[in-house]
Amino acid sequence: MIKNKITRRDLIKKSALAAVGSALYFNMPKIVFANKTSKTKVILIRNKNVIDDNGIVNSNIIKEMLDEAVVTLTGKSDISQSWATIFNKNDIVGIKTNEWHNLHTPLELEEAIKNRIIETGVNSQNISIKDRGVLNDDVFKNATALVNVRPIRTHYWAGVGSLIKNYIMFSEKPSSYHPDTCADLGALWKLPIVEGKTKLNILVMLTPLFHGVGPHHFNKEYTWKYNGLLVGFDPVAVDSVGIRILQEKRRQYFGEDRPINPPPKHIFIADTKYKIGTADPNKIELISLGWKNDILI
């Protein structure tokens, strides 16, 4: 049973999670603690030209977007310093991507992340990019640092495919997390292979899926060019911003309030029960960079 239920009243007021106790940010680099900021930073960066009309990602632009987001997130003055704040040369880094064929993590983004990590001095052999198969991958098994990167999308059973959910492949038995519409996905972040290792979370918002249809829950009709990335140290906060954008898009598309269903409660429970981060908008400092058209938040 989940101890901390979110009531209808809580969600409508959108502020009751302010009552949540101080989260234990296991995963954040020390720089964040040093800042003693009362809010967790989430960077939203958008660029009108990052994808073309055929959906091709511009590798230079996405690299620039990533760098600008990381510089802003860390508060450092240049790109190298920023990445060096997060990774050190002795790290063994698993980049947990998402390969769902309908909407996968762009290869250009994976490559940009990998190259920046290499530039911090990490041996390229100590970096692995994977979705399925992480449990059998030596880099992931010995990882000292993880990067969590995936596109956001609505999901039949969990409400959304989120950063929290992206670690499902670290479970020996993913279906064991299905009860109560995947409420306890936050528990994944307490597995020994994961806990305390995530250094960076990137929610890809280039062409998010805001509504699902059919057995595979995908149709291009329900995606749109948002051209953004959400970047943060706190996966719950990043997801929380992501679902608010999806929700707003649904409102715009359907012309009425149409809740994401099932409710993506695993994100809130990752906050209230598993203390992985904060879902409370009042505790999130959203910094918006770049293109502002139809920002929806």
Partner 1 sequence: MLTNILILYSLYIAFFNMDINVELASLLPNKIDEWKSEIPDQYYTPDNLHTYLNGGAELYNSFQFKEAICRTFIKDDNEPKIKAEIFDMAKPENAFGVFSLSAENRAMQFGQGSQYLQGSLVFWKDKYYVSVIADYETQSARKALFMIAYAIEKSIKAKGQLPQIITNLKKIDSTFTKEIYFTNYAWQNTYYFIADNNIFNINNDCKAIMAYYPIQNYNLIYLQIQYPDDKIAKKAYTAFLKYFKLPKNINSPYMLEDKKWMVPVLFENNIYCIFNGKSSDDIEVLNNKLKTKFQTIYDKKQDYTP
Provide the binding-site residues for partner 1, judged by CB under 8 A.
Answer: 2, 5-9, 11-13, 155-158, 174-175, 178, 180-182, 211, 213-217, 219-221, 256-259, 261-263, 265
Nearest distance in Å: CB 124, partner 1? 31
Nearest distance in Å: CB 149, partner 1? 19
Smallest CA-to-CA distance from 149 within 211, 87, 199 is with 199
Of residues 63 and 153, the one with the C-beta less far from partner 1? 153
C-alpha 89 chain-centroid distance: 24
Nearest distance in Å: CB 25, partner 1? 25
Smallest CA-to-CA distance from 249 within 222, 277, 229, 267 is with 222
Of residues 60 and 102, the one with the C-beta less far from partner 1? 102
Of residues 8 and 30, the one with the C-beta less far from partner 1? 8
DSSP structural state of residue 53:
T
Peptide bond into 262 cis (omega under 30): yes
Radius of gyration of the chain (CA): 18
Q: Which two tokens stand for residue 50?
A: 């990052």
Nearest distance in Å: CB 169, partner 1? 11
**Rounded Cα distance, 60 and 56, in Å:** 12
Write out the E strands in the chain. Answer: 40-46, 93-96, 127-130, 145-155, 159-161, 198-209, 228-232, 284-290
Nearest distance in Å: CB 14, partner 1? 11
Of residues 63 and 250, the one with the C-beta less far from partner 1? 250
Nearest distance in Å: CB 183, partner 1? 8
To the nearest 10 degrees (0 to 180), the angle between helices 79-86 and 59-74 is: 70
Of residues 12 and 34, the one with the C-beta less far from partner 1? 12
Of residues 53 and 256, the one with the C-beta less far from partner 1? 256
